[in-house]
Amino acid sequence: MTALITADGLLHEIDEKDLLVLDVQYTLTGDGPRLYTGGHVPGAPFVDLDTVLAGPAGEGGRHPLPDVETLQAGLRAAGLDDDSRVVVYDQGTSLGAARAWWVLRWAGVEDVRVLDGGLAAWRAAGGTVVTEPVSPEPGTVHLEADQLVALDAEDAVATAKLGVLVDARSPERYRGEEEPIDPVAGHIPGAVNVPMSDLVQPDGRLRPADELRERFAREDIDEVTVVGTYCGSGITAAHTALALHEAGVDADVYIGSWSEWITDPSRPIATGACPLPSSCPR
């Protein structure tokens, strides 16, 4: 079953009482609040990725999982009840929205969909955009963590050996040629590279399911493969998990990702275009 909703679909459902739309506009430089005040879907409160959908940066990476009590308080403040149906969106890439989709399901919220193409698609479909902040009645949702598997570093290693570990970063970062964010470059040994850019259309919407299946099949991934995803800090990795879901593949997410992997200097680092140096053609 798809986890996506189109802008036209949301226009049709927007007034349903049990539907809660959450704005998760996000950039690495923390521009989410500014983007929200610049325009959002009517009735949609803002949920901050850095403070609600992630814990403090540290040894667990730049965006570790949040404390479930903090997450619950943030989602109650946004008006979430136990019986709410949720649609999450960001400005267009679905990076922030996919992180919300994954974290909410990890915490036990079952009915979560992503607005494919985000606010840009909503505008293009004729949806109204407002600038006034939303202050909903507090919700009563009760969350319970660990409803999805969050891989740790050891799990990531095991996944690379038993199945396929997908690195969602750009090829340059995967190969270790450049690292604009983290202090160490390279990739987890055994991981294959499927950059996010391979999975999306120019307007930010995910590619059709058959195209996603074809791309993942190039890495020997199908519906029975053991799959894990990672990126720099567990955001793009959630987006890749969403794309895999749309392709009919269940995937676990290494939330700490590269930013957590490199906190332990004893963990090995691979560079180059091959998952392992020994796997490169001679």
- Quick one: 162 and 121 in the same domain? no
Q: Identify whether 133 is part of a domain.
A: no
CATH of the domain at 247: 3.40.250.10
- Quick one: 158 and 252 in the same domain? yes
pLDDT at residue 176, as a whole number? 96
| Number of C-beta neighbours around residue 265 at 10 A | 7
Q: Which residue has the higher pLDDT, 135 or 216?
A: 216
- Band of pLDDT at residue 225, cut at 50, 70 and 90: very high
> Distance (Å, rounded) from C-alpha 248 to C-alpha 41?
29
Q: Identify whether 141 is part of a domain.
A: no
Q: Identify whether 112 is part of a domain.
A: yes
- Assess whether pLDDT exceeds 60 at residue 282: no
The two three-digit tokens of residue 182, written as one number? 């983290």
- Assess whether pLDDT exceeds 80 at residue 85: yes
Active site residue 231: yes
- Quick one: 10 and 121 in the same domain? yes
- Assess whether pLDDT exceeds 90 at residue 278: no
- Annotated catalytic residue within 168, 231, 241, 242: 231
Cβ-proximal residues to 197 (8 Å cutoff; 6+ apart), any chain: 170
The two three-digit tokens of residue 249, written as one number? 């593949």
The SS3 call for residue 32 is: helix
73 in Cβ contact with 65 (< 8 Å): no
- Quick one: 118 and 188 in the same domain? no
Task: Please measure the distance between the N-terminal and C-terminal CA atoms of the chain and give it in whole angstroms.
Answer: 43
How many domains does one find in the chain? 2
Q: Identify whether 278 is part of a domain.
A: no
Phi, psi (degrees; rounded to nearest 5) at 48: -80, 125
Number of continuous H segments (helices) and E segments (strands) in the chain: 10, 9
- Quick one: 43 and 116 in the same domain? yes
- Quick one: 246 and 162 in the same domain? yes
- Quick one: 166 and 72 in the same domain? no
- Quick one: 18 and 114 in the same domain? yes
- Quick one: 174 and 94 in the same domain? no
- Assess whether pLDDT exceeds 80 at residue 60: yes
Q: Identify whether 185 is part of a domain.
A: yes
pLDDT at residue 170, as a whole number? 97
- Quick one: 63 and 155 in the same domain? no
Q: Identify whether 25 is part of a domain.
A: yes
- Assess whether pLDDT exceeds 70 at residue 183: yes
Mean pLDDT across the chain = 96
Q: What percent of the chain is predicted at pLDDT more than 70?
A: 98
Q: For residue range 88-109, list pLDDT tens digits in order.
A: 999 999 999 999 999 999 999 9
- Quick one: 154 and 105 in the same domain? no
Which of the listed residues 60, 90, 125 is the one where a domain comes to its end? 125
- Quick one: 8 and 117 in the same domain? yes
Residue found by looking up tokens 């493969």 in the block:
225
The parent domain of residue 85 ranges over 4-125
170 in Cβ contact with 176 (< 8 Å): no
Tell whether pTM > 0.95. Answer: yes
Q: For residue range 97-152, list pLDDT tens digits in order.
A: 999 999 999 999 999 999 999 999 999 999 999 999 998 999 999 999 999 999 99
- Band of pLDDT at residue 281, cut at 50, 70 and 90: low
**Average pLDDT over every residue of 54-74:** 97
